Amino acid sequence: MSVEKINMPQLGESVTEGTINTWLVAVGDKVNKYDPIAEVMTDKVNAEVPSSFSGVIKELIAEEGETVEVGQLMCYIDTEESSSASKPKSSEDSTKTNDNIENDTNSKEDVNKSMKKRYSPAVLRLAQENDIDLTMIDGSGRAGRITRKDVEKFMKEGTKNDPKEEQKEPSHQTIPKVNQSGTPSVRSNSIASEKGDKEIPVKGVRKAIADNMVRSKQEIPHAWMQVEVDVTNMMKYRNSIKDKFKSDEGYSLTPFAFFIKAVSQALREYPELNSAWAGDKIIQKKDIHLSIAVAKENELFVPVIRHADEKTIKAVARDIYELANKARNGKLSSEDMQGGTFTVNNTGTFGSVSSMGVINHPQAAILQVESIVRKPVIIDDMFAARDMANLSLSLDHRILDGLVCGRFLARVKEILEGMNVDTVSLY
């Protein structure tokens, strides 16, 4: 038997940390190699962490809800395989091994001491956003490490756990900005449940959504625009071929595929909207990768259609079908969720006719495609029944102004209204 470490794996490109949503094992549980031991949530996707060894779980180091950086220790496991490195071959080796154990213990103590001042990106971000001095917080994690829960508790209570520190003069840092601004998290903490109420813990994807939305609203100065589009001719064409298309291809030709095609074409002409805010600079992305919102019960995913501008309407329709199926069956990978440069949200699915989306940080904008409604419209001084839809654009006013966004929306409108049996090619 030997004791091995299981560290937080790299769960995807650009993923630097993961939050342990649920431990799937307990101390003393026997696991086989590749058995899942924990559900981990990142800002990209939920994933299961497999065991790297067969053996018995010896100690869980990280707690549920704790954010752990990639490569950092999650737990110890007593492995079934003997480790040549840990087995002494002789009494001399045994002595050396004992020395090594002692050194290892000392080393761990040194590591523990250093970990008190090692903060995860999530902790640092919370502290920076709320002007919190981390030295004022006592960590509850391993070796006194400060976890996200510690910071959130500090934000809620506004006091330091250490009684000695409570005697100090209060500083401006003990009053987090979040209390002053009244963000949703603080408001929710101030609400007490009453008899008969049902309390639902905020964790997993719901917590990730909440964190991302708060971050977007706190950091991004949103502005909104909306145009109305006549898609009568587009719908006539789509309705005339949808049954044959589904019979031939095995998946539906939805109106959303036409909108995706139009938006990606317009983004090629107006690359300003295909940008990201990067602190002291704006990064205008070369490739057009469209994030699409897919809902699954209480969860929301934003998988990505890559190189949308280079794809036919048929290819876009297939991507929508496959990504939506993956999301609803829990099969999305971290690669499916990465690299989005602009988000298109099909709010029309729910019958919505007007909405204001929250921008998917750090993208520059999000476009809501509202419900297609058949209604009377005046054309040539006469009423005509037309299929109309609103396009609602939320924009990051640090990156974009109304002029370029207005021109972008006008171009999307022009492309969509020009789609008909003579101009659209599915393949």
Told to judge if 361 belongs to the known catalytic residues of this protein, a careful annotator would answer no
Helix axes 402-417 and 232-249, enclosed angle (nearest 10): 70
Told to judge if 230 belongs to the known catalytic residues of this protein, a careful annotator would answer no
CB-facing half-sphere around the CA of 306: CA atoms within 13 A: 5
Contact between 204 and 21 (Cβ < 8 Å): yes
Residue of 93, 99, 248, 397 marked catalytic? 397
* Cα 177 versus chain centre, distance: 24
* Cα 104 versus chain centre, distance: 38
Q: Which residues of 81-99 are buried (b: 16+ CB within 10 A; e: fewer)?
A: eeeeeeeeeeeeeeeebee
Tokens standing for residue 173: 């840092």
Residue of 29, 287, 401, 422 marked catalytic? 401
Nearest residue to 343 (alpha-carbon basis) of 401, 406, 300: 300
Work out the burial of residue 296: count CB atoms within 10 Å of its CB; fewer than 13 is exposed, 13-18 middle, 19 or more buried.
Answer: middle
Tokens standing for residue 249: 């291809």
| Per-residue DSSP letter, 363 | B
Give the active site residues. 397, 401
